[in-house]
Amino acid sequence: MLDEAYPASFGQYSNEHTKAWAEKIKSLDAFIFVNGEYNHSIPGALKNALDYLYAEWNNKAAGFVSYGSASGARAVEHLRLVLSELQVAHVRAQVLLSLFTDFENFSVFKPAPMHSDNLKTMLDQLNSWGNALKTLRK
């Protein structure tokens, strides 16, 4: 991993899995991050996946669906900071799922009906921003 820390910003990757990851991210216009909250933040594996690349993330759009005891809100706030540094535009609308009200016995997903409207709004914003940012990448 350390051998790719700075060359990553220039797309000079040595590992095949990193090259494949870079090509996948480069090919997309927008992302929906679905993640839980761990110690008021994002999972370490997600942070690592983000940090491996730089230019491939630039001028893309992101939306969020999160879950946790505080509906994953703190994780989303942290993720917004990380993505801003990667030059990813994040939409305002988000879907916040509570472990207490949107999961039966903390394991069976049973979202409240109100989340449908939030999801639609987030997807509409994400689609608009993803399309608009294409012009910056050409």
Q: Which fold has domain 2-137?
A: Rossmann fold (3.40.50)
Q: Per-residue confidence at 12, pLDDT binned at 50, 70, 90?
A: confident
H-helix or E-strand containing 90? strand 88-98
Per-residue model confidence (pLDDT) at position 138: 77
Backbone angles phi, psi at 16, to 5 degrees: -65, -40
Does the structure show a pLDDT above 50 at 65?
A: yes
If you average pLDDT over every residue of the chain, what do you get? 92
Q: Where are the alpha helices (DSSP H) in the chain?
A: 16-26, 44-51, 73-85, 114-137
Q: Percentage of the chain with pLDDT > 70? A: 93
Residue ranges of domains in the chain: 2-137
Does the structure show a pLDDT above 80 at 63?
A: yes
CB–CB of 18/54 below 8 Å? no
How many whole angstroms separate alpha carbon 130 and alpha carbon 133? 5
Give the pLDDT confidence of 92-130 residue by residue, as tens digits: 999 999 999 999 999 999 999 999 999 999 999 999 999
CB–CB of 97/122 below 8 Å? no
Closest CA to 50 of 21, 29, 14: 21
How many whole angstroms separate alpha carbon 118 and alpha carbon 114? 7
